[in-house]
Amino acid sequence: MKISRFLKKIKLYGCVMSLRNTAEKQLLRLKYIAYKNKARRLRQINIKSASGPKVLIVMNAGGIGNEIEATPLVQAARLLWAKAEITILISPGGLFENWCIPNKTIDSEKYLKGQTFNHTFFAYWEWKNINRWNVECEPGQIHFPRIRLNRLFLKPEREYYIDMLRRLGYNGSVPPLYVSIKQPKIYVPSANFRICLVPGGKKEHRWRHKHWPFYDKLAQLLLQKYHQGHIYIIGTKEDDIPGQLPHDPRVTDLRGRLSLAETGWVLKNANLVIGNDCGPMHISDAVQTSSLIIFGPTCEVKNRPQNNSIPISIDIFCRPCQYNLALLDNCPDSRCMNQLTPEMVMEKIQATKFRL
């Protein structure tokens, strides 16, 4: 006998059906309450994600090279927080003009007055003076790269910057370097084969050994080797070249005549760039021009290029002394630079498979 017939026979069918309908109504009510709670939580998440955290990335604390090496950090922050309001603090010169990744680009700390941020990232490992940032703005949680100075643990600088975001949940790879380029307003002679020489470097006494002293002799060798070549000297007015450049119409001195973005355009359109470990060489790396970077006291592991650039240095016991400040400050003769001859640079160019 079916259960329904048995319940009808003993006159309990109606009571059971009533209980069943009541239970179904209560279950529907519970489902509705659960749906409302879930919808409210989703709305709260959407509201939070619509605004996102306010992020400040201080890129100009260490120099042009630090700024360029920090561009992957800006892109990774956008990937981690799609709705974040990202502000970058940079140096003047238009190097990141019209970049679509940050919401705001400023070149002076005065624009930070009264602003509040959830996170502030410093793209410079030695930056310790943070008290003034509490005066300029409310920086929120402050992040610094944790760099081990032991040679065995070094890695490219951009990796240390990305590590700051990895501690907050970013699990992607290192994005590419970025710079803006702009065609110069001044006349730049055209040539079938363009070679840029970059004698730059910081002006502090400590970094005097970054300057290679043989660009005049290298220019002569390059003109002899590449008869169709044209040499462009890149840098600021303060970037001196010991000796005298060749008096040749195939040599154009552009020092102090270009903005950073215009420098990027000249380097982008060059066939080969040769220079010290300095800011414009990071620009050359970002625009992926074939480059030969001369390393002296600085470390080619930490400052390793990302693209079509190759380091050159000589193997002596005391280099790199970048992380031995006593040795760096008191080095008497800069052997790491003085023993690297123009002929050795030319041999490296010939032995390297540059896309020339």
pLDDT in tens, 78-124: 999 999 999 999 988 889 988 999 999 999 888 888 899 999 999 88
Per the CB < 8 A criterion, the answer to whether 282 and 270 are in contact is no
- Taking the C-alpha atoms of residue 133 and residue 116, their distance in angstroms, rounded to an integer, is 11
pLDDT in the model for residue 241: 87
Structure tokens at 61: 């604390």
Question: Comparing 38 with 7, which gets the higher pLDDT?
Answer: 38
Order of strands, sheet of 85-89, starting from the edge strand that comes earlier in the sequence: 104-106, 85-89, 54-58, 119-122, 141-143
Q: Is the pLDDT of residue 289 over 90?
A: yes
Pick the closest to residue 123 from 54, 55, 211 (CA basis). 55
- Residue 271 dihedral angles phi and psi, to the nearest 5°: -90, -30
pLDDT in the model for residue 47: 43
Question: Comparing 332 with 185, which gets the higher pLDDT?
Answer: 185
pLDDT band, very low/low/confident/very high, at 46 (cuts 50, 70, 90): very low
Pick the closest to residue 179 from 65, 304, 40 (CA basis). 65
pLDDT in the model for residue 39: 53
- Taking the C-alpha atoms of residue 322 and residue 331, their distance in angstroms, rounded to an integer, is 11
DSSP-derived 3-state class of residue 343: helix
DSSP per residue over 9-33, as a string? HTT-HHHHHHHHHHHHHHHHHHHHH
When pLDDT is averaged across residues 63-79 and rounded to a whole number, the result is 93
Range 54-166: architecture per CATH:
3-Layer(aba) Sandwich (3.40)
DSSP per residue over 258-287, as a string? --HHHHHHHHHT-SEEEEESSHHHHHHHHT
Question: In this predicted structure, which of 184-198, 220-234, 252-266, 299-313 has the lowest mean pLDDT?
Answer: 299-313
DSSP-derived 3-state class of residue 209: helix
Domain residues of the chain, as ranges? 54-166, 193-351
When pLDDT is averaged across residues 9-20 and rounded to a whole number, the result is 60
Fold agreement between 54-166 and 193-351 = yes
When pLDDT is averaged across residues 177-182 and rounded to a whole number, the result is 94
Q: Which fold has domain 193-351?
A: Rossmann fold (3.40.50)
pTM of the model as a whole: 0.79
- Taking the C-alpha atoms of residue 48 and residue 104, their distance in angstroms, rounded to an integer, is 20
Q: For 152, which DSSP code? A: G
Question: Comparing 242 with 132, which gets the higher pLDDT?
Answer: 242
Q: Is the pLDDT of residue 273 over 90?
A: yes
